[in-house]
Structure 1
Amino acid sequence: MILDFKITNYKSFQEETTFSMVAETSKLKSSNIHQIKNDIGEFYRASKVSVIYGANASGKSNLLSALTDFISYIINQPRLGMQVKIHKPFSFDLDSMDKPTKYQLTFLGPQNIRYEYSVTVDYSRIIEEKLNYFPEKRPRNIFKRKSNGKKTEETDNEIKYGIEEHVVDKKKYSIFSNQLLLSKFAEEPHDILNKVYLYFRDRFNLEVCHTNYSESLRETAAKMLLNNNKLTENVKKLFKVADTKIIDFKIEEIEDKDSINYFGIESLIKGKSKKKVHVHFTHAIYKNSNIIKRARVQMPHNSESKGTQTLFTIGTNIFNTLSKGQVLIVDELDSSLHPYITKMLVQLFLSEEINKYGAQLIFNTHDVTLLDEELFRKDQIWITEKSEKGVSELFCVSDFEGLREDTPFEKWYMAGKFGGLPNIPNLEKIFSE
């Protein structure tokens, strides 16, 4: 479960920026909050859902990509000499371009113990990496790693670093200079670090962050459903309650003949062929406004609307996230979906009966109808703004003094009281010239 996330010098976020899911003390809308007490008696309250608003190019997507980039880099180990892909400095300032990018994530990990993990990188190496945890209310350091700075190659264009050695619990580990030490414990045995690595690998759903109806995502979602009856049942129910007029869907795994055809010759070598997943949606057939019993027509996935395709992929990932207590990150949750459907998807996370395992949803949107004081608490709503210099700022609606939980959030936002709106000038003055 995420508590706080901090970034510095990442894309449009030049200065240190903090995004928090820690809930305030207000007892209103208690179903919107996960409340957890761990084995050492610490009590935590975290939002189930956080939503981010702001004008186009204000930094909403950058905030989400910072988190997904960071998690992905932990899970996927780079090759020696590769550029550190999570070094993405602010590009509109000469000083910032050469400075490191910093990340810090505070989360409830294994046994709901609090962890703080921080990483500082430049384009070719991990400069610093530190992991603390709180097994007895006081922090304990598991490891602290600093780059030794030994260069293996230096040219006019770049500096390359080689292999480093770092000690954890009196044991030496050799790692690439561009590799996170935590990533090493995907394979190396360690009582704590194995579990922390698995937490990042298994507790984050990054599939639909940047697009939620691509062909690859459709296939991934379909494969999730193939061998999971409960998940399939829930997605079918979702299509019914969303009033899509789809009464069923069928998933088939079919051998892809193109994958075993080499230079026009069919190859029957075992293991060379691939399988494609096909999804067909079932519709009723009518005559004189009456349904014809047992008459059905099946339409392929790509014949359906963008909204239906989106609902299939996002719905599958949502129910998968809910069943595993994961963190789901979605860029533009409302893409191709009706506002009522988007609201329904959010309500799945807010429900105490449905969200039983601590799942969290972080998303951005332009759908102002979700700014409903009956749906969200003020500490769940975030706003991004960008300065004249292209620097993004992030703030929470709860930062505004005098704001009550029953304040009409949508009206205040559209009136510009929270900021985060595009500044559109007089069109006739601009274009008539």
Structure 2
Amino acid sequence: MILEYGFKNFFSFKEMSTISFRFDSNVPSFISKDKEASSLIGIKGGNASGKTNIIKALTFLSYFINSSSNMKPEDTLPIKSFFDDKSSPSEFYIDFKIKETYYKYELSISSGKVVSEKLSKKVKKMLPFIERNYDEITYSRKDLAHLKEIKLNSNASFVSTFSKFKTFSELEDLSTIYGFFDTVLSNVSPASGLLSKNVDYREISQLYGQDSKIFGFAKELIKKSDVGVLDISISEDTNEKGQPYFYPVFHHTHEGKNFSLKYADESSGTKQLYIFLALYWLVLEQGGVLALDEFDVHLHSLLLPGILNMFEDENINKLGAQFIFTSHNTEIIDTLGKYRTVLVNKEENESYCYRLDEIPGSIIRNDRPISPIYIKGKIGGVPRI
């Protein structure tokens, strides 16, 4: 699970900003359920305040740690500093826990190249076990000493680089960390932002067609959400190159007659659910992390608490999956409460964020709705109208 992550000099964020899932001793047990970290974090803020960049930072970390070695050595890493500020590096860190082991990953990048990289592990206390400066491994645990001989590219992480070797599975900590970040799913690109319009429904249809369990899960929720859908089936055809592809058929009924609609003819909300229910399922099944920008677009507000409850219900979320998302829905703050809501503001084109329980005083309480004071602009995170 992610405990917290932070980033600095990254897109619209100049100073270090932290997104914390942690529950401390101040969080009531009826909220924390005696868990160390939340399964949910909701991000709210005005348009262009920087909400997407918070998701983008996590997506970039996941991409860099696991997949950056797929880039060509001359390629530039897909990030931007605050107004192209090259006077200081962009910095990232993420604290996470895999089973009962705590890890910390730290990264510094300047002009698209790695300045430093460090992985630490907590035994009695948090200690580094592999460190890098520029393209050289400068410190490693004794059992990892042979990794110092491996050539590193300036745009690739050491985890991603080492993963290309046949013996990678023998590097227990590194392969475990690789597996953790492999379960981070998102609809946001590290560089360009929201990807939902590019999600191919035919790939999702192939997944549904191959797995009746996940298809049954999605189909039942869509039928509950769209009262006009009687059933959904998956069909197969071939494209102009003779390659097979899959597509859904939505079955409806009217006055005793059956009608079928193509994916393109369905409502935006139904299409949104069709795509993203597959991601919800995969993350819940793997105990991974789902990071979605604008997850509530085209969905009725009454559906949103039910989706969030999948991550709160231990009978459904048996492996501790986490969900971090941005939303324009206001009432969702009351569902999340102050310990699971992050607000984003922007002043003079610089973004900053805070979790609601960081606001001092008693203006936000656990026994009353937060949305009324949010709407009045008393706690920030609202557009200037």
Q: How many residues align?
A: 368
> Could you say if the C-alpha distance between residues 120 and 103 of structure 1 is closer, same or farther in structure 2, counting changes exceeding 3 Å?
same
Question: How many angstroms apart in 2 are the aligned matches of 1:33 and 1:126?
Answer: 40
What corresponds to 1:22 in structure 2? 22
Larger helix share, 1 or 2: 2
8 Å CA contact 1:207–1:217 kept in 2: the answer is no
Q: In the TM superposition, what is the alpha-carbon distance from 1:416 to its structure 2 partner?
A: 1.1
* Percent identity of paired positions between Structure 1 and Structure 2: 26
1:47-126 equivalence runs, <5 A: 47-76=38-67, 77=69, 78-86=71-79, 88-91=80-83, 96-109=85-98, 111-126=99-114
> Could you say if the C-alpha distance between residues 27 and 234 of structure 1 is closer, same or farther in structure 2, counting changes exceeding 3 Å?
same
Question: How many angstroms apart in 2 are the aligned matches of 1:63 and 1:303?
Answer: 33
1:29-428 equivalence runs, <5 A: 29-30=30-31, 35=35, 45-76=36-67, 77=69, 78-86=71-79, 88-91=80-83, 96-109=85-98, 111-134=99-122, 136-147=123-134, 168=140, 169-171=144-146, 172-188=149-165, 189=168, 190-201=171-182, 203-207=183-187, 211=194, 213-214=196-197, 216-256=199-239, 258-259=240-241, 273-286=242-255, 292=256, 295-372=257-334, 375-388=335-348, 390-400=349-359, 401-402=361-362, 403-424=364-385
Look up the SS of the partner of 1:46 in the other structure: coil
Comparing 228-237 with 181-190, greater Cα deviation is found at: 181-190
2:131 is aligned with what amino acid?
A: K
Q: In the TM superposition, what is the alpha-carbon distance from 1:346 to its structure 2 partner?
A: 1.4
> Could you say if the C-alpha distance between residues 217 and 74 of structure 1 is closer, same or farther in structure 2, counting changes exceeding 3 Å?
farther
8 Å CA contact 1:321–1:328 kept in 2: the answer is yes
8 Å CA contact 1:33–1:48 kept in 2: the answer is no
8 Å CA contact 2:129–2:139 kept in 1: the answer is no
Look up the SS of the partner of 1:363 in the other structure: strand
Gaps of 5+ in 1: 36-44, 149-163, 260-272, 287-291, 425-433
Question: How many angstroms apart in 1 are the aligned matches of 2:107 and 2:340?
Answer: 26
Question: How many angstroms apart in 1 are the aligned matches of 2:379 and 2:118?
Answer: 36
8 Å CA contact 1:249–1:280 kept in 2: the answer is yes
8 Å CA contact 1:248–1:283 kept in 2: the answer is yes
> Could you say if the C-alpha distance between residues 241 and 137 of structure 1 is closer, same or farther in structure 2, counting changes exceeding 3 Å?
farther
Question: How many angstroms apart in 2 are the aligned matches of 1:223 and 1:99?
Answer: 46
Q: In the TM superposition, what is the alpha-carbon distance from 1:378 to its structure 2 partner?
A: 1.3
8 Å CA contact 2:45–2:381 kept in 1: the answer is yes
Superposed CA offset, 1:105-135 (max 9, x none): 11112x331110011112242100000011x
Look up the SS of the partner of 1:175 in the other structure: coil
Q: In the TM superposition, what is the alpha-carbon distance from 1:220 to its structure 2 partner?
A: 2.9
> Could you say if the C-alpha distance between residues 33 and 377 of structure 1 is closer, same or farther in structure 2, counting changes exceeding 3 Å?
farther
8 Å CA contact 2:66–2:159 kept in 1: the answer is no
Give the TM-score normalised by structure 2. 0.90
Give the TM-score normalised by structure 1. 0.80
Q: In the TM superposition, what is the alpha-carbon distance from 1:215 to its structure 2 partner?
A: 5.4
Superposed CA offset, 1:58-117 (max 9, x none): 11111111111221122222211111223x10007xxx34421111011112x3311100
What corresponds to 1:41 in structure 2? none
Q: In the TM superposition, what is the alpha-carbon distance from 1:333 to its structure 2 partner?
A: 1.1
8 Å CA contact 1:167–1:173 kept in 2: the answer is no
1:6 is aligned with what amino acid?
A: G
8 Å CA contact 1:212–1:310 kept in 2: the answer is no
RMSD: 2.0
Question: How many angstroms apart in 2 are the aligned matches of 1:339 and 1:124?
Answer: 41
Superposed CA offset, 1:32-53 (max 9, x none): 6573xxxxxxxxx111111011
Question: How many angstroms apart in 1 are the aligned matches of 2:154 and 2:370?
Answer: 47
8 Å CA contact 2:199–2:275 kept in 1: the answer is no
Q: In the TM superposition, what is the alpha-carbon distance from 1:314 to its structure 2 partner?
A: 1.5
> Could you say if the C-alpha distance between residues 312 and 277 of structure 1 is closer, same or farther in structure 2, counting changes exceeding 3 Å?
same
Q: In the TM superposition, what is the alpha-carbon distance from 1:255 to its structure 2 partner?
A: 2.0
